[in-house]
Amino acid sequence: MESAEIVRRFLRFFEERGHTVVPSANLIAEDPTLLLVPAGMVPFKPYFLGQQKPPYTKAASAQKCVRTPDIDEVGKTTRHATFFQMLGNFSFGDYFKEQAIPYGWELLTRPESEGGFGIPESKLWVTVYGDDEKVIDTEARDIWHKKVGVPLDRIQRRGMVDNFWSMGVPGPCGPCSEIYFDRGPEYGREGGPNADENRYIELWNLVFMQYERGPGPGKEGYPILGELPAKNIDTGMGLERLAAVLQGVDNIYEIDTTYKILDRAAELTHTRYGRDARADVSLRVVADHVRSGVMLVNDGVMPGNEGRGYVLRRILRRAIRNLRLLGAGDDRYMHELTDTAIAALGEQYSELRTDAGRIHTVIDAEEASFLSTLRTGTAIFDAAAEETKRKGAKTLGGDQAFQLHDTYGFPIDLTLEMAAEQGLSVDEEGFRRLMAEQRQRAKADAAAKKSGNADITAYADILGSHGNSLFLGYDMVSAEASIVGLLAGGLGQPAVGEGDVEVVLDRTPFYAEGGGQLADQGVIRTHSGAVIEVVDVQSPITGLVVHRGKVRDGVVHVGDQVLAEIDVERRRAISRSHSATHLVHAGFRRALGESAAQAGSENSPGRFRFDFTSPGAVPASVLRDVEQEVNEVLIRDYEVRASVMSQSEARAMGALAMFGEKYGEEVRVVEIGDYSRELCGGTHVARSGQLGLVKVLGESSIGAGVRRVEALVGGDAFRFLARESVLVSQISDALKVRREELPERVEGIVSRLRAAEKELERLRSAQVLAMAGELADKAADVNGVAVVTHRVGDGIGADDLRKLALDVRGRFPADRPAVVVVAGVPKDRPVVVAAVNESGRSRMLKAGELVGVAAKALGGGGGGKDDVAQGGGARPEAIGDALRAVEEVIGQRVGA
């Protein structure tokens, strides 16, 4: 039974029993405390906590999940995976154990011909929560035995670590009961899950969610704060594990949606799965990580160096590296493997097929970038390893490993492997400490942006008490409202005087930052005369709008009646930018194809930036054409329409959904004539002519496979062109040519300047080399070694310094030991070059060590081979000290 059919049967079973089938949520978690969705119940968390009222009392879903804490174990075992799918049925106070337990048993054991999974009852075991005979979930045990008919000898008790569930963070929790499948005696010893979890594998976890846990370490070191508002059911059955059982394969890597990728990777790298343990590990890593990468990119994650972007980058780069371990070298196979993954998962997720172009663009670009990184990073690593060994150390510093990762994108596991090859270890503890600090900063920054450093439960309390904030800003720029919540210092307050404040209104015209659109600003005035200046508006949890600012006058109280007024001119300018972004997006898709998909945007007053996927730079001619086409749309003065409809209706009419954005069942579609049609919750102009003018400033790369266009709108665009016109006039007057002749005249001037610079460079180089003979003649004799140390004049380039050092060294007879060290300041920073001939190296003089001595005195570093090396620093004034330090070392080495 294929995975897609398993999902269909699961959802159909529960739909027939009154459950609402809920589509999988985006992998990007709504919860600001999470980077990615790690469990099937995460989208339902606000309902379990009682923060929001669910629109249904029972639901079923097949939820996409990503977990990476055990990423290093992926491939080494056949249990771990980064991306997986969780089948689950949920009850929000509707039913509890007495129904959830029979549901699970019935679906698993019902014959396939009747819509079930057809697993023999004799193959199933059950566990219930119980730390000892005094603390045991007797209710669950009795339902399993007396109602379902499971023999008592196939019901086992397990403690809190195994059979008490939570998300690992404060939130809902409760005892659970798990269903295990017996794979047979060939997989291990008898005795049930307590005896052997390799033979008896967990299929389904039924969580009886009735408590709320507090903070604490591990799986059992946390307090139970109390009971939830209602007893709930949260079940989770891993689709991949169930597929392995139903498809009769040994593990999750051999099921239909994963093995196709693994098999294609083996074919491309000319290996065979099952023949070599190390190759098998790499094949499993590739299969899992390509699958995960495709799903993450599809849900809007872009490779980056922090947060969820770092998760994706790490996953993709581990896949690419393991392809190299399999013998891929610099060959690029990710495109074909991505194709295979899209085909394997496309029946379950049709959006993968429609979005294939963008997915390919992102992953192909990351592969090209990383292969280049591997070459650069290897050279940097070699220099770091050489310096470590030169100092007599055996451990590469954690800071060096972190720099390799952070600056050059070098994965730590590759650093560890390469260090081992050179007989070195790596300070992993130091590396991981620096990584943890970086991730914590990134996570705190992201959470603070949304939550303002307040405990998210403070917002949840307001939402639970007063419901969603009603947004009026599509039609109104001011509105009467009531204050339903105040926060200061991250805590709820009944009243706040002058100073920082966060205000929640029952209704508001203020737009909360989202979808690339910056937040509104403005003023909130109470009827009693207090004034709040609003500088930012955020939605820290779905449904709640939080106004941040300062109380400028008086005291504000919860319950106060207020007049909320936005800065109208700012709103209009931002709306013009937002509408322009839609038009530019449509223009690029027309010019470059559907793979030019939006990858982010920011709509500011009078200015916007638009990020989109592209394998390379966009030609200037395309930028001009898109700009011209967009401005023609403005001239046509199209009507801008917004309408609310179901997602299916929006897709049917061809509306574009922005990847990375989250949409409910009802969506808002914004149309600009028949030129642009997108799902969008932002504010826009009424007609395209109100934009006035769009001026594209240029485009640039912001990451592998992602380009950024910046542009001006309206008055800002006119003012920019006016300044440009004045500037062109000034240059035209200075050069005494007509405007249309300027490009040719400027090109001629630049050509002559370049020719003059080359001639100056040639003369300077000749002048430098001319002193080679004189320097050789003046060489000092240090116990039989010819030593030349010299500082050249400023402005001499590093290449010329190197040529000079080699020229002087070449003027000494081969049998005379010679050392040449020259230094200069090419561009405000000192550079030193050392050259030692073969006779000099026989006297234990090495260029790399001498450069290291000089560079240290210069406040920098460097190195190289024994015969020639180069380094630098940050202290030009220390060149004299650096050369004297080199002379002292030479004297010590040769016994002067």
Binding residues for Zn(2+): 578, 582, 680, 684
CA atoms within 13 A on the CB side of 683: 26
Kindly report the backbone phi and psi dihedral angles of residue 438, in degrees, each rounded to the nearest multiple of 5, phi listed first: -65, -45
Q: How far is CA 828 from CA 472, 767, 794, 798, 873, in A?
A: 58, 21, 9, 12, 10
d(CA 212, CA 743): 71
Is the separation of the CB atoms in 694 and 717 below 8 Å?
Answer: yes
Is the separation of the CB atoms in 424 and 394 below 8 Å?
Answer: yes
- Burial call 708-718: b when 16+ CB within 10 Å, e when fewer: bbebbbbebbe
- Beta strands 706-713 and 780-782: pairing type? unpaired
d(CA 480, CA 817): 90
d(CA 393, CA 498): 59
d(CA 619, CA 199): 59
Q: Which residues contact 292 (CB under 8 A, 6 or more apart)?
A: 66, 81, 82, 83, 315
For the chain, give the number of residues. Answer: 896
d(CA 500, CA 548): 8
d(CA 314, CA 305): 9
d(CA 278, CA 269): 14
- Burial call 354-387: b when 16+ CB within 10 Å, e when fewer: ebbebbbbbbbbbbbbbbebbeebeeebebbbbb
CB 654: neighbour CB atoms within 10 A? Answer: 9
Q: Residue 107: which H helix or E strand, with range?
A: helix 97-109
Is the separation of the CB atoms in 89 and 106 below 8 Å?
Answer: no
- Structure tokens given for 446: 């992201």
Kindly report the backbone phi and psi dihedral angles of residue 568, in degrees, each rounded to the nearest multiple of 5, phi listed first: -65, -40
Residues flagged as binding site = 578, 582, 680, 684
Virtual CA dihedral for 718, 722, 724, 726, nearest 10 degrees? 180
Q: Coil, strand, or helix at residue 251?
A: coil
DSSP 742-771: HHHHHHHHHHHHHHHHHHHHHHHHHHHHHT
Q: Which residues contact 750 (CB under 8 A, 6 or more apart)?
A: none
Is the separation of the CB atoms in 823 and 808 below 8 Å?
Answer: no
CA atoms within 13 A on the CB side of 569: 1
CA atoms within 13 A on the CB side of 36: 27
d(CA 837, CA 816): 9
**Helix, strand, coil shares, percent, the chain, to 5:** 45, 25, 30
Burial class (CB in 10 A: 0-12, 13-18, 19+), 755: exposed
Q: Which residues contact 642 (CB under 8 A, 6 or more apart)?
A: 474, 668, 669, 670, 671, 680, 684
Report, in angstroms and rounded to the nearest whole number, the Rg of the chain calculated over CA atoms: 34
Q: Coil, strand, or helix at residue 483?
A: strand
Question: Please, what is the angle between helix 428-451 and helix 412-421, to 10°?
Answer: 170
Kindly report the backbone phi and psi dihedral angles of residue 770, in degrees, each rounded to the nearest multiple of 5, phi listed first: -65, -25
